[in-house]
């Protein structure tokens, strides 16, 4: 016999070690997959000597494995040729049928079954791939939400099934329904009951994945199938020992031992899994330089968790499941995107192929007459009993559960759960593992198990889909909530939150809240890369966009967004006023891209798009309810202090609108303003220490620096510094003369003041004790919108700091006011030519916007909107220009303070 390694009973460490020892690359090694009697020639119906030697070759083992894998994969392709067929017949059924056919062929040829599902192979290689995949991609939130129910079903349900089935079978045997030939006592039946009662993860995944019942239902059945492993292992082991010592010698001590070993096996397995999860997460923290082997760590450590638990005779499935669940969050955050994809696909591929092989071999194994003996009474009774007790167990437990569950499981759920209790390969592998010497009725049990497995997988698997449809079980849907729902739900969130708070209802998720806090405080710091937990997603997005922007600015010589295709700009709500109507807006900018990654860019139609747009800005703007009652579960992923949370929300919102406004302002500037030439922007950069100090935006050491921006420099002097204008001795033609004309004489003084104030700030030597006032008070004439945007500090910035930078409402950033003010100015003063030609409707909108401006912004507006006077043309055109790369970097990251010297030249030259 090949090393038949026990999942449970016979999984002594020695046999494990034996099996784990490196495969001897000799001809003597026979794959556990193949029965030892296999002569190589038997693979071919008429063995020519050449192939004999060929197969005797050392490539035999891997060759056979590969061929089987290929066969399984091809079978999959075949089944999926017909779409209609696969929607009716589950794949698992087809695979079993294929196995039956293959087994039949082999049987006809050799009158002996050569292949069968070997427990060693199954438990060591096939099962782990499936469980690993299941654990790693387990929806952990859902799983832990329903953990109570899952555990109850897994432990109590399985015990109930096992005992009832066993005792009833024994009773039926005493009544004489089961043939006398079946030589089995109570202990044998208990053993059989233990292995036949457990719901099988492989079968459940295979069948339920195609049924698409709702998530709760799925996770309960599926979670049960994973967690009941511990029960099965312990029962199986305990009864094995009972059978060995003989029923007469079983006393209370043994029973107690069984109970204790259950705790040890289940908790120990979980613990091993969690330890490995920590190791895995911790390891991936340091793989930055060796990205290429990141996925390997995931596979290896998850697999090691399985093997280690098996080695210690603990529940391997539990171990692997919890390793996957535990590590997923941290690993996903640590490893790179590509590794993530690799892990995902490899796991899915392996699991899928393992599943295929399991089902094929189940079919093949069934075609082995020598292994089993048929007894109609036993088979029929077993089938009836497992179905009956499953249903009774589910109903009873659900009745208990529903008294505690806030969302009760209704009748339909119970039917599906009862019906979904599928048995599968685990039961089969366990029954094959039985020792025929001690369990005399083994052959009968094998036959019964095969029938049960086939019945559940094929018959129930086939019928569960129509059943689900007929019962109208709520399916899992990806339907987006309608706008009504979105609004009403949010509104009622607010209302209910208040009620819950006052009533002091202990949230269901009290513990999860605690856990999340613990996770945030300690675990994340230990297991996540620094860069990961310090950087919020928003910041990543922000930096990316910033980078992209900067590149395009440089690439396109300031003509930002000339090609909207190459630079998807954000369709932002702030641009609505421009077009009165979103529909028009969207029609105009079909390629609008929004920050919301979930809004996919395929555009099925204006209506849908409009909807999604509405959803998008609703999601962005509906405030989340705020909780007072501390111990409550938080709706945010990372619970923060109440205050902090609210502030963060406001802050993020501001950030977002700032970003969007920035984008749109550029976009619009480009669109409307093309004739008008580039406007002028001072990029204010802050030294890195300058940021993140609460309440004091610019600490004393800050090197605040103003540098000219390509796109927004003063039309004249700014242009000269543009990197791409190197050598352009004269004013670029796009600088309109009007722009300079617009500046009222009396404002020139204000402008000059602003320049000087900027200079004073930007000089590193000038340690202003309270730079905030100087730099950002409304009276200072720093050209505004862009400054505000660019000056946003790294994530540590507390929104609380009374910066005007962050706190200014979005409209101030909108370029429209600028124009409106300009036009107003133009109207007031007899300026030779208006700065721009607006249509009547546009002007109206601008007026609306103007009204929206706060007083203080009103004060600022004229200042910021005014074009600076043309600087003396005597400035040397050949002035040193800023290196685009440096500029780029400055946009994306905050440079160290010491590095600011070169940049600060810009403003002083103004």
Partner 1 sequence: MGNKQTIFSAQQLDAYQSYVPFQRLFSRYRDLAPQLVPLDYTHQPDVKLPYELIGSMPELKDNPFRQRIAEVFSEDGEGNMTLDDFLDMFSVLSEMAPRDLKAYYAFKIYDFNNDDFICKLDLVKTLNKLTRNELTEDEVRMVCEKVMDEADMDNDGRLSLEDFQHVIVRAPEFLRYRHTPQ
Give CA separation, 352 vs 64, 91, 349, in Å.
19, 11, 5
Nearer Cβ to partner 1, position 617 or 721? Answer: 617
C-beta closer to partner 1: residue 432 or 853: 853
Taking CB atoms within 8 Å and a gap of at least 24, the contacts of 51-60 are 56/27, 57/27, 58/25, 58/26, 58/27, 60/27
Minimum Å distance from CB 623 to partner 1?
Answer: 6
- 169's CB contacts (< 8 A; 6+ apart) are 178, 189, 192, 193, 378, 381, 382, 385
- Nearest Cα residue to 427 out of 159, 123, 170: 123
CA pair distance 243, 240, nearest whole angstrom: 5
Q: Least separation, in Å, of the C-beta of 414 and partner 1?
A: 17
Neighbour count for residue 407 (Cβ, 10 Å)? 10
How many residues comprise the chain? Answer: 910
Q: In angstroms, rounded to a whole number, what is the distance separating the alpha carbons of residues 149 and 40?
A: 51
| In the complex, minimum distance from the CB of residue 646 to partner 1, in angstroms, rounded to a whole number | 8
The nearest distance, CB 561 to partner 1, in angstroms, is 23
Alpha carbon distance 238, 254 (integer Å): 8
Pairwise CA distance, residues 881 & 707, whole Å: 11
- In 455-536, which ranges are continuous DSSP H helix? 461-471, 483-503, 510-518, 524-527, 530-534
Please measure the distance between the N-terminal and C-terminal CA atoms of the chain and give it in whole angstroms. 89
Find, among 513, 440, 442, the residue nearest to 195 by Cα.
442
Contact 321, 150 (CB under 8 A): no
CB of 621 to partner 1, least distance (A): 4
Q: Which is nearer to partner 1, 632 or 663 (CB)?
A: 632
DSSP states of 602-642: ----HHHHHHHHHHHHHHHHSPPP----TTSPPSSSS---H
| Pick 227 or 425: Cβ nearer partner 1 | 227
Measured N-to-C along each axis, helices 215-245 and 252-284 cross at an angle, to the nearest 10 degrees, of: 130
Question: What is the C-alpha to C-alpha distance for residues 509 and 523, in angstroms, rounded to an integer?
Answer: 19
User: Which residues sit at the interface with partner 1, rule CB under 8 A?
Assistant: 145-146, 216, 405-407, 474, 481-485, 487-505, 507-509, 573, 576-577, 580-582, 610-611, 614, 617-618, 621-623, 625-626, 628-629, 632-633, 635, 646, 653, 848, 852
Instruction: Give 743-794 as a DSSP string.
Output: S-HHHHHHHHHHHHHHHHHH-TT---SSHHHHHHSTTS---HHHHHHHTPPP
Cβ nearer to partner 1, comparing 543 with 614: 614
180 vs 855, beta carbon nearer partner 1: 855
Structure tokens at 574: 């702030």
Contacts of 492 (CB under 8 A, 6+ apart): none
Angstrom distance (rounded) from CA 824 to CA 834:
10
Nearer to partner 1, 258 or 810 (CB): 810
Q: CB 575 → partner 1: shortest distance, Å? A: 10
Nearer to partner 1, 67 or 505 (CB): 505
CB of 506 to partner 1, least distance (A): 9
Q: In this structure, how many other beta carbons lie within 10 angstroms of the beta carbon of residue 756?
A: 12
| Partners of 708 in the β-ladder | 682
Return the SS3 of 683. Answer: strand
94 vs 217 by CB, closer to partner 1: 217
Token representation of residue 637: 């992923």
**17: which residues sit within 8 A by CB, 6+ positions away?**
none
Query: Is the separation of the CB atoms in 236 and 194 below 8 Å?
Result: yes
Q: Answer whether 201's CB lies under 8 Å from 422's CB.
A: no
Nearer to partner 1, 255 or 505 (CB): 505
Q: How far is the CB of 483 from partner 1 (least distance, A)?
A: 5
State which residue, 148 or 246, has the beta carbon closest to partner 1.
148
**Is residue 668 within 8 Å of residue 819, measured between CB atoms?**
no
Q: Which is nearer to partner 1, 625 or 744 (CB)?
A: 625
Q: How far apart are CA 889 and CA 343, in angstroms?
A: 33
CB of 468 to partner 1, least distance (A): 17
Q: How far apart are CB 559 and partner 1 at their closest, in Å?
A: 29
Please, which residue, 146 or 702, has the CB nearer to partner 1? Answer: 146
DSSP 3-state of 115: strand
Give 456's DSSP letter. Answer: I
> How far, in Å, CA of 707 to CA of 899, rounded?
13
Q: How far, in Å, CA of 113 to CA of 641, rounded?
A: 66
Yes or no: say if 780 and 828 are a contact pair by the CB < 8 Å rule: no
Least Cβ distance, residue 640 to partner 1 (angstroms): 16
CB of 492 to partner 1, least distance (A): 6
Of the two residues 360 and 582, which places its CB atom closer to partner 1 in the complex? 582
Q: Which residues contact 605 (CB under 8 A, 6 or more apart)?
A: none
Would you say 44 or 608 has its CB closer to partner 1? 608
Least Å distance, CB 405 to partner 1, is: 8
Rg (CA), the chain: 36
With respect to partner 1, which residue has the nearer C-beta, 108 or 406? 406
Cβ closer to partner 1: 340 or 405?
Answer: 405
Q: Which is nearer to partner 1, 499 or 737 (CB)?
A: 499
Give min distance, CB of 807 to partner 1, in A: 14
């Amino acid at each position: 016999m090949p090393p038949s390694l026990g999942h449970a009973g016979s999984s002594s460490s020695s046999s494990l070690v034996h099996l784990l020892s490196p495969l001897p690359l000799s001809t003597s090694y026979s794959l556990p997959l193949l029965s030892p009697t296999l002569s190589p020639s038997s693979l071919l119906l008429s063995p020519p000597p050449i192939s004999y030697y060929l197969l005797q070759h050392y490539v035999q083992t891997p060759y056979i494995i590969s061929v089987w894998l290929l066969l399984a994969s091809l079978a999959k392709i075949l089944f999926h040729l017909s779409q209609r067929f696969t929607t009716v017949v589950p794949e698992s059924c087809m695979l079993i049928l294929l196995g039956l056919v293959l087994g039949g062929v082999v049987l006809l040829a050799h009158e002996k079954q050569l292949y069968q599902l070997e427990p060693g192979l199954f438990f060591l290689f096939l099962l782990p791939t499936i469980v690993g995949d299941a654990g790693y991609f387990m929806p952990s939130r859902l799983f832990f939400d329903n953990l109570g129910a899952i555990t109850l079903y897994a432990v109590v349900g399985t015990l109930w099934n096992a005992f009832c089935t066993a005792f009833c079978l024994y009773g039926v045997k005493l009544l004489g329904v089961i043939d006398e030939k079946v030589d089995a006592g109570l202990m044998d039946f208990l053993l059989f009951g233990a292995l036949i009662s457990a719901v099988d993860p492989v079968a459940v995944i295979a069948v339920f994945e195609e049924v698409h019942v709702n998530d709760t239902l799925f996770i309960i059945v599926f979670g049960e199938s994973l967690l009941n492993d511990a029960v099965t292992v312990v029962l199986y082991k305990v009864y094995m020992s009972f059978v060995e010592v003989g029923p007469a010698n079983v006393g209370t001590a043994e029973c107690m031992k069984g109970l204790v070993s259950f705790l040890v096996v289940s908790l120990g397995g979980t613990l091993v899994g969690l330890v490995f999860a920590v190791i895995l997460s911790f390891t991936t923290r340091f793989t930055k330089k060796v990205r290429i082997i990141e996925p390997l760590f995931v596979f290896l450590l998850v697999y090691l968790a399985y093997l280690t638990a098996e080695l210690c005779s603990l529940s391997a499935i539990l171990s692997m499941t919890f390793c996957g669940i535990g590590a997923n969050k941290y690993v996903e955050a640590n490893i790179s995107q590509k590794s993530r994809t690799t892990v995902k696909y490899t796991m899915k591929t392996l699991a899928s192929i393992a599943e295929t092989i399991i089902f094929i071999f189940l079919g093949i194994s069934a075609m082995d007459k020598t292994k089993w003996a048929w007894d109609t009474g036993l088979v029929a009774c077993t089938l009836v009993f497992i179905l009956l007790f499953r249903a009774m167990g589910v109903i009873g437990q659900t009745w208990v559960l529903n008294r505690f569950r806030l969302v009760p499981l209704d009748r339909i759920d119970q039917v599906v759960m009862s019906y979904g209790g599928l048995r599968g390969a685990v039961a089969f592998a366990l029954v094959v593992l039985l020792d025929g010497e001690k369990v005399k009725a083994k052959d009968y049990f094998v036959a019964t198990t095969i029938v049960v497995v086939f019945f559940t997988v094929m018959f129930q698997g086939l019928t569960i889909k129509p059943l689900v449809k007929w019962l109208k079980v709520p399916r899992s849907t990806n339907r987006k909530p309608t706008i009504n729902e979105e609004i009403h739900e949010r509104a009622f969130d607010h209302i209910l939150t208040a009620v819950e708070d006052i009533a002091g209802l202990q949230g269901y998720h009290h513990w999860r809240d605690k856990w999340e806090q613990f996770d945030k405080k300690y675990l994340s710091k230990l297991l996540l890369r620094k860069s990961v937990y310090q950087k919020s997603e928003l910041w990543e997005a922000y930096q990316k966009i910033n980078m992209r922007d900067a590149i395009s600015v440089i690439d396109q010589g300031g003509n930002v967004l000339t090609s909207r295709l190459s630079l998807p700009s954000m369709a932002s709500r702030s641009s609505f006023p421009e077009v009165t109507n979103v529909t028009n807006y969207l029609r105009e900018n079909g390629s609008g891209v929004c920050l919301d990654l979930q809004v996919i860019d395929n555009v099925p139609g204006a209506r849908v798009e409009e909807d999604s747009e509405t959803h998008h800005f609703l999601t962005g703007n509906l405030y989340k309810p705020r909780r007072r009652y501390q111990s409550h579960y938080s709706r945010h992923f990372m619970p923060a202090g109440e205050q902090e949370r609210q502030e963060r929300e406001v802050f993020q919102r501001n950030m977002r609108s700032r970003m969007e406004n920035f984008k749109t302002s550029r976009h619009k500037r480009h669109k409307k303003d093309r004739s008008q030439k580039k406007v002028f922007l001072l990029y204010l950069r802050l030294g890195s220490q300058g940021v993140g100090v609460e309440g004091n935006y610019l600490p004393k050491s800050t090197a605040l620096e103003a540098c000219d921006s390509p796109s927004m420099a003063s039309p004249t002097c700014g242009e000269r510094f543009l990197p791409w204008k190197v050598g352009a001795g004269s004013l670029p033609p796009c600088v309109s003369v009007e722009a300079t004309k617009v500046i009222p004489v009396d404002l020139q003084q204000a402008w000059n003041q602003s320049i000087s104030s900027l200079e004073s700030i930007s000089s590193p030597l000038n340690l202003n004790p309270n730079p905030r006032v100087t730099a950002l008070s409304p009276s200072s004439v720093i050209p505004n919108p862009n400054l505000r945007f660019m000056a946003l500090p790294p994530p540590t910035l507390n929104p609380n700091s009374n910066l005007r930078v962050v706190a200014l409402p979005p409209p101030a950033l909108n370029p429209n006011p600028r124009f409106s003010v300009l036009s107003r100015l133009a109207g007031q003063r007899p300026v030779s030519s208006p700065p721009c030609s607006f249509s009547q409707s546009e002007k109206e909108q601008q007026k609306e916007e103007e009204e929206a401006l706060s007083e203080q912004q009103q004060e600022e507006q004229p200042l910021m909107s005014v074009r600076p006077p043309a600087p003396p043309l005597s400035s040397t055109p050949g002035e040193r220009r800023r290196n685009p790369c440096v500029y780029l970097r400055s946009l994306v990251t905050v440079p160290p303070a010491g590095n600011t010297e070169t940049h600060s030249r810009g403003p002083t030259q103004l």
